[in-house]
Amino acid sequence: MPDLPDIQSPVPATSDLVKAFIEHRDLLYGYVFAQCREHHAAEEVFQELGLAIVNEAGRGTVPARFLPWALRVARNRIIDHFRRQAVRRGSERSLELLGEAADTAFIEAAEAGAVAGGDSHERLRLLRDCLAGLGARARQLIEARYREELDNPAIAARLAWKESAVKVGLAKARRTLRECVLRKLRLQGSPS
Amino acid sequence: MTPSDRDLLDAYVADELDDAGRAEFERRLGADAGLRRHLVEAALVEGDLHRLHQSAAGLPLAMPVRAAAPRRRQGWTFEAIAAALIAILGGVLFLRPSPPPAQGAETIRVEAGAVTVDGIAAVPRAGGELHAAGGEASLALAGGTRLTLAADARAVAHEQDAAGVWRVELRSGQVRCLAGAAGRVEIATPHAAVSVLGEATLLVTAGGERALEVSVHAGSARVRQGEGQVEIHAGSTRRFSGRPRANAVGQVQAVNVAGRTLTLTNGDRREARRLAIDAGATISIDGAAAALSDLPTGVAVTVHLDDSGQARRIEANGPEVTGRLLSIDRVAGELALTTGKEHATAPARYSLDPGLTATRDGVASDPATVSAGETVRLRLRIDGRTVRAIAIGQERRGEGR
């Protein structure tokens, strides 16, 4: 898939493109993560995406619609990233990207004004509040997964739980946090 | 969202769907706008969780830009300047890469309220972070400290804190630091923090995720890693292993001391795994150094592997138990705990280790202050019956690893 099918004119509009990137950075990272489902890979891809967009901005690229264009650039970066990784490691991780429906999801979210760059600090603050309200066990699971980056077997060994219990517990903790953040955002009148 | 959609979404985010599950998830996604919205929300919260736990200060997502094609030597291109200006106004500065020659590397000067590039173009600063990554580049910080990032180094420079300390996250690569007498700087790598003590010259190399090398040419520096710290003085170079990943976990099925192998079984996975043990491997049981022959069968271990797959560290720690403290009797040396959140379970009784320690919100505390009614996290010995540490409240970053 070509990266730049939406170019209308070569009029330099560096500021708009970079501003749009900054404005949508959380949504773009969310998209990259949703496709990679692995944070380290998502970070790498996101950096490559940032570089690509800044380069395009320098060339004066003006996409007709920023987000669909940026998502396509991101999709191509994800494919490239995993292809390179496969070559380096001599083995291929099966990466099946979600199709159009995922792109639609993120475009819809942007159009609904659900996410903007400026909300980032606030969302993190709300998430901290929600974490503080989690039960001790759920917090332990979240700490082990996100701070210590342990996988399910390691967490199970640490807590003397079954892996299946860790899996269920993490899913439940994530869901609780998600619902809590959304509830707080709604109370604040955010469109999320 | 139906319960089955919710389960699909949870499994997708956790990367636990097989091909068929993913196809089903995608099909449902195409048909259900609500599920699409939930996917976005889940992805955003995942990103936030990751940021919150991987960035000490919970900073906004860093967007360092890595080296691309080499460019001309004569300062910044228009595009780079333009991008940087826009980015600064947006709160982020992209430090563009420069080619290998170190002479006359670009200088980004950060003073209170202004940023200059090679001495020109004072740019109003909107209070954003300075994110620097890429090729050879130099940061001149107010207070007389200069940091030079080597090619391919990846770093993020933060605002000077209230105490006047500049903090630079060196994610990988090398930085040369010339700290002035008045300059205070901390270079944080993924696994340790290097504080420069007054006037000093040093070279800090973060070797990917696993190692740190600090070479002090003049003055002194302090390296903090976990709960330990060490000072390095002029003429010395120290290397630190990073926090190795927990590559293998499981219960000890067999130990072959002569053959230096360890066989593990793993929870829900039934197959056993035999690991070779490096000659210099360290073994600890409940935090204390131990011999390989001390490892009892059945105990849960975490084994850190080197790149060749050999065990280089084996840690056997008892499980953690969380619950509400029903009673604690220091004279009898025991406590009772209930673990149910909504429905209290029957009390479980544990012995207190003579060396019992306690923390509150990550800070060491007198175990005598622990009292019934508190929610506690018990770190047990490998016997599963003896409490060696009690934690109350939240742990601080870096603890409990």
One-character DSSP codes across A8-69: ------HHHHHHHHHHTHHHHHHHHHHHH--HHHHHHHHHHHHHHHHHHHHHT--BSSHHHH
Which helix (H) or strand (E) covers residue B157, if one does? Answer: strand B153-157
Residue-wise pLDDT tens digits, B74-92: 223 223 333 343 343 333 3
B93 CB within 8 Å of a chain A CB? no
Q: Using CA atoms, how far apart are residues B249 and B266, in angstroms rounded to an integer?
A: 7
Q: Which residue has the tokens 């889940």?
A: B42
The segment with the largest mean pLDDT, out of B130-139, B153-162, B204-213, B283-292, is B283-292
Q: Which of residues 64-103 of A touch B (CB under 8 A)?
A: 94, 96, 98-102
Between B135 and A169, name the one with better pLDDT.
A169
Task: Inspect the interface and report whether the beta carbons of A98 and B26 lie closer than 8 Å.
Answer: yes
DSSP code of residue A7: B
Q: Which residue has the tokens 């850190």?
A: B304
Q: Is the pLDDT of residue A176 over 90?
A: yes
Q: Residue B303: closest CA among chain A residues belongs to which residue?
A: A154
Q: Which residues of B touch A110 (CB under 8 A)?
A: none
Mean pLDDT in residue range B15-30: 83
Q: Is the pLDDT of residue B311 over 80?
A: yes
The segment with the largest mean pLDDT, out of A15-24, A36-45, A127-136, B387-396, is A127-136
Between B94 and B217, name the one with better pLDDT.
B217
Cβ atoms of residues B232 and B220 within 8 Å:
yes
Smallest Cα–Cα separation from B166: which of B118, B110, B235, B122? B110
B52 CB within 8 Å of a chain A CB? yes
C-alpha of A134 from chain center: 23
B10 CB within 8 Å of a chain A CB? yes
C-alpha of B19 from chain center: 32
Q: Residue B323: closest CA among chain A residues belongs to which residue?
A: A136
Smallest Cα–Cα separation from B170: which of B133, B141, B219, B223? B133
Maximum CA pair distance of chain A? 61
The DSSP bridge pattern shows strands B145-149 and B166-179 to be antiparallel
Nearest to B47 among A33, A50, A164 (CB): A33
Q: Using CA atoms, how far apart are residues B171 and B55, in angstroms rounded to an integer?
A: 11
Residue-wise pLDDT tens digits, A82-116: 777 766 555 444 456 677 788 888 888 877 765 54
B168 CB within 8 Å of a chain A CB? no
Q: Using CA atoms, how far apart are residues A18 and B245, in angstroms rounded to an integer?
A: 36
The DSSP bridge pattern shows strands B107-111 and B92-94 to be unpaired
Q: Is the pLDDT of residue B387 over 90?
A: yes
Compute the nearest-CA separation of A32 from chain B (Å): 9
Q: How many Cβ atoms from other residues are within 10 Å of residue B280's Cβ?
A: 9
What Å distances lie between residue B211 and B191, B246, B247, B301, B365, CA to CA?
A: 8, 15, 17, 23, 32
Is the overall model pTM greater than 0.80, yes or no? Answer: no
Between CA B225 and CA B295, with CA B317 as vertex, the angle to 5 degrees is: 115
Q: Using CA atoms, how far apart are residues B10 and B1, in angstroms rounded to an integer?
A: 12
Residue-wise pLDDT tens digits, A25-78: 888 888 888 888 887 778 778 877 877 787 777 777 788 888 889 998 898 888
Phi, psi of B368 (to 5 degrees): -65, -20
* Total beta-carbon pairs less than 8 A apart between chain A and chain B: 225
Task: Inspect the interface and report whether the beta carbons of A137 and B322 lie closer than 8 Å.
Answer: yes
B383 CB within 8 Å of a chain A CB? no
Cβ atoms of residues B136 and B102 within 8 Å:
yes
Task: Inspect the interface and report whether the beta carbons of B45 and A153 lie closer than 8 Å.
Answer: no
Of B100-114, B243-257, B297-311, the range with the lowest mean pLDDT is B100-114
B307 CB within 8 Å of a chain A CB? no
Residue-wise pLDDT tens digits, A117-170: 446 677 888 888 899 899 888 998 998 888 888 888 888 888 888 889 999 999
Q: Using CA atoms, how far apart are residues A106 and A121, in angstroms rounded to an integer?
A: 20
B385 CB within 8 Å of a chain A CB? no
Q: Which residues of A touch B7 (CB under 8 A)?
A: 171
Where b means 16+ CB within 10 Å and e means fewer, B303-338 reads bbbbeeebbbbbbbbbbbbbbbbeebeeeeebbbbe
Q: Using CA atoms, how far apart are residues B212 and B173, in angstroms rounded to an integer?
A: 10
